[in-house]
Amino acid sequence: MYSFYLEMDVFSKLCSATKDNPTIENGGLLFAKFKPKKLIVTDVINAGPLSKRNKYEIMMMYKILCKAFC
């Protein structure tokens, strides 16, 4: 079993996304490091303004993600 850790700035980003969108799925991508028995989340990015969101799912826009990673 793994322990799950969030860095404080990542936690703040997640709280902000939830506050901004309380009734729909926030979505986004989590980035993490694996260490023995630990998962440490180091960053999160929002799904972007063009993503389609509802209460149960999110469809991220490929172009937004590509700008972040390509």
Tell whether 16 is covered by a domain. yes
Estimate to the nearest angstrom the gap between the alpha carbon of 20 and the chain centroid. Answer: 14
DSSP state of 36: T
pLDDT at residue 65, rounded to an integer: 63
Which structural domain, as residue segments, surrounds residue 27?
3-52
What domain count does the chain have? 1
Domain membership flag for residue 61: no
CB 44 within 8 A of CB 14: yes
Six-digit token string for 13:
């980003």
Residue 57 lies in a domain: no
Asked whether residue 67 is domain-assigned, the answer is no
pLDDT tier for residue 38 given thresholds of 50, 70 and 90: very high
| pLDDT for residue 68 is more than 70 | no
pLDDT at 69: 63
